[in-house]
Amino acid sequence: RKEVEQDPGPFNVPEGATVAFNCTYSNSASQSFFWYRQDCRKEPKLLMSVYSSGNEDGRFTAQLNRASQYISLLIRDSKLSDSATYLCAGGGNTGKLIFGQGTTLQVKP
Amino acid sequence: GAVVSQHPSRVICKSGTSVKIECRSLDFQATTMFWYRQFPKKSLMLMATSNEGSKATYEQGVEKDKFLINHASLTLSTLTVTSAHPEDSSFYICSASGTERAYEQYFGPGTRLTVT
C-alpha cells in the first residue's frame, strides 16, 4: 500500500462546479499535511497547509480527518484556471514529505 | 518570499557525462533542501534530503555515488548526476525549507534532463 494515495482522475467538471478530492495516508505518525498544485511540466506550488482541523482560503477548503487518516480539498465555483494536478503530501518530524501521485482536474467552459 | 531558483532549467547531455544542477534559496536561509525526481505522469519521488554542512540522507534505492549532493551553504545545494544514462532522463526538482514553518517546502522550477 502506498503511503499517500490519491485518485488520479481525471476529474472533468464544468465551470462553476464544486469539486472535492480526497487523499488517504497510511502513516498515523504523520503530523503535517499539504496540498500542492502542479501545472503541466512545472514545479509544484504550495496551495494550502492543513495542520489541524482544516482551513479555508477563498474558494478552497482543506480538511483533515485524523481518525480516518485522510485529507480533502474542496474547490468551489471552479474556474478554467483551476485546471491542474493537485498533489497531497504528508510529513513527519523529519521535515520529509511523501507525495501522492496527484489528482488531475480539468475544468471545462 | 520563499523563492527557490534552479539552474539549468533544461539540459541535454550525452550518455556517460556528468551533469550538475544547482538549487538556490533566494530570500531565505534553507536549513534543509530536498531533491526529487519526477517521471511523466508520475508523482514526485524523494531522492535525498540534505542539511547544510552535513552529508545527504538518501532514500532507499537511490545510489549515492551516482547522485552526488552537496549542501555547502544555507542558500545553495547541488546535485550531480554522474555518468548519466538515458534512464536518468527525468524532471529533477529541488525544494527548500527554512527555520520558520520548517515543514513547508518551496520548490525550484525544476531541471529537465535528457540523456542521449
Residue of A nearest to B102 (CA): A95
Give me the amino acid identity at B29: Q
pLDDT one digit per residue (tens) for chain A, 109 residues: 678 999 988 999 999 999 999 999 988 778 889 999 999 989 999 999 886 778 899 999 999 988 889 999 999 999 999 999 999 999 877 778 889 999 999 999 9
User: If DSSP states are collapsed to H, E and C, what string results for chain B?
Assistant: CCCEEEECCEEEECCCCCEEEEEEECCCCCCEEEEEEECCCCCCEEEEEEECCCCCEECCCCCCCCEEEEEEECCEEEEEECCCCHHHCEEEEEEEECCCCCCCCEECCCEEEEEC
Distance from CA of B103 to the nearest CA of A (A): 5
Please tell me if residue A95 touches chain B, with a CB cutoff of 8 Å: yes
Express each pLDDT in B80-105 by its tens digit.
999 999 999 999 999 998 877 667 88
CB atoms B49 and A95 under 8 Å: yes
Distance from CA of B110 to the nearest CA of A (A): 6
